[in-house]
Amino acid sequence: MKREWDLLHTPGPTPIPPSVDRSMSQPMIGHRGEKCKELMQDIAPRLKPVFGTSGDVLVITGSGTSALESAVVNATQPGDEVLVVVAGAFGDRFAQICQTYELNVHRLDVTWGEAVKVEEVTQALQENPEIKAVFVTHCETSTGVMHPVEAVAEKVKEVSEALVIVDGVSSIGGAGLNMDASGIDILVSGSQKAMMLPAGLAFVAVADSAWTVIDQNPRPRFYLDLRVYRKQLMAGQTPYTPALSLLFGLQEALRLLEEETLEKVYERHALMKQMTREAFQALQIPLLVSDGEASTTVTSVRPETFEAEQLRKLAREEFGLQLAGGQKQLKGEIFRVGHMGYSRPANVLQYIGIIEIILKRLGHTFEPGAGTAAAQAAYLDFTRED
Ligand SMILES: *Cc1c(COP(=O)(O)O)cnc(C)c1O
């Protein structure tokens, strides 16, 4: 049985704000009627600032992976040379999608837990001048690294004609990207991470530079043909039946982001990162990622004195606190704390307090309250008005 007091702190799905929940229970409407048109025409422009673009943000009914796949099928042709930065499970997924669609994939493998360096990307482009697109993940959710995708995009634009395609599934809504200014051509995201919604919506922001390639691309595609989504969006429509309840929820989620302001939303995520990291440091438990490369939406912790899986199990059983484990090569090595979307500094104080109790149970040696005190100090420091 699902306990309603469970505390969901996985890096997706994430908790849903009550007002978003209520919005999603509105009565169903016809998707070819006036009301749906109003809904789409309301949502479309309000998504743009969240993606840092003045271009189109298309909404597909599908999970985040459908947005990744749509970028690949629309912007590439079989045999194209592409560069994929692989620094974790999601970079690897992008590479797999590219392979599936018969691209000539150059993998730029980066140690899991580290960010790619801009020079590594430019070097790969110099070695392979035929590369037509560079795929990179913004927040690599499997490790908690945030790659410098804006700097990568700027540099790629300087030295080549390649498109820059960014997976922002676990960052958009929690961390800002200036898509237009940095030269990112396609930025994709999903609904169930920092966007405060259930899974089911995929977002694809497309810059004019990418439309040129997409419009001329002869590759066959149907459900994920972005040209059809753009055409329908202009008429306030979607090509196929949209997930209407999620669109109602999206309308409210956007209102919440606007009310708080995006700037404050991003600051709140940076604060939660800081509080979480300083707490684990004070508890003498190593973090997987360095300060400068760590994500503001998810923190990976690599314990040495106890089993990560044991902590996750006890936290879940005793307090209903849901944390994520490691994926693939990091399975059993790390646990991950999601602090994105409908998550606030108060929640950080709560999960750190819980984790301290579990650490006692596991026999980890630390000064009682040290984690909580460090999180409190980080909070006070961050919010101090000088
Ligand atoms: C969650 C996630 C995805 C998409 O996953 P879906 O299960 O298809 O929604 C893609 N990339 C990243 C970085 C993610 O965190």
Q: Are residues 271 and 248 in the same domain?
A: no
**CATH label of the domain that carries residue 269:** 3.90.1150.10
Which atom of ligand 1 is nearest the CA belonging to 139? Answer: 13
Q: pLDDT tens digits for the chain (386 residues)?
A: 567 889 999 999 999 999 999 999 999 999 999 999 999 999 999 999 999 999 999 999 999 999 999 999 999 999 999 999 999 999 999 999 999 999 999 999 999 999 999 999 999 999 999 999 999 999 999 999 999 999 999 999 999 999 999 999 999 999 999 999 999 999 999 999 999 999 999 999 999 999 999 999 999 999 999 999 999 999 999 999 999 999 999 999 999 999 999 999 999 999 999 999 999 999 999 999 999 999 999 999 999 999 999 999 999 999 999 999 999 999 999 999 999 999 999 999 999 999 999 999 999 999 999 999 999 999 999 998 76
CB-ligand 1 contact for 169 (6 Å cutoff): yes
What is the H or E stretch that residue 371 is in? helix 370-383
Judge whether 325 lies within some domain.
yes
Which residue range(s) make up the domain with 38? 18-258
Other residues' Cβ atoms within 10 Å of the Cβ of residue 162: 21
Among 234, 258, 282, the domain boundary falls at: 258
Among 258, 292, 310, the domain boundary falls at: 258
Contact predicate 142/327, CB 8 Å = yes
222: helix, strand or coil: coil
Judge whether 67 lies within some domain.
yes
Q: Are residues 253 and 269 in the same domain?
A: no
Q: Are residues 64 and 210 in the same domain?
A: yes
Number of separate domains in the chain: 2
Q: Are residues 211 and 84 in the same domain?
A: yes
Q: Are residues 230 and 320 in the same domain?
A: no
Judge whether 294 lies within some domain.
yes
Q: Are residues 154 and 200 in the same domain?
A: yes
Judge whether 1 lies within some domain.
no
* Residue 2 pLDDT: 64
325: helix, strand or coil: strand
Q: Are residues 252 and 359 in the same domain?
A: no
Longest dimension (CA), the chain: 63
CB-ligand 1 contact for 377 (6 Å cutoff): no
What is the H or E stretch that residue 158 is in? helix 149-159
Q: Are residues 146 and 240 in the same domain?
A: yes
Q: Are residues 267 and 252 in the same domain?
A: no
How far apart are the CA of 357 and the centre of ligand 1, in A?
A: 31
Among 233, 258, 283, the domain boundary falls at: 258
How far apart are the CA of 346 and the centre of ligand 1, in A?
A: 26
* Residue 1 pLDDT: 56
Q: Are residues 251 and 108 in the same domain?
A: yes
Judge whether 2 lies within some domain.
no
**CATH label of the domain that carries residue 186:** 3.40.640.10
Judge whether 92 lies within some domain.
yes
What are the residues facing 140 on neighbouring strands?
145
Which atom of ligand 1 is nearest the CA belonging to 11? Answer: 15
Q: Where are the alpha helices (DSSP H) in 79-117?
A: 89-100
Q: Are residues 49 and 163 in the same domain?
A: yes
Judge whether 268 lies within some domain.
yes
* Residue 4 pLDDT: 85
Q: Are residues 61 and 179 in the same domain?
A: yes
The alpha carbon dihedral of 326, 14, 189, 241 has a sign of: positive
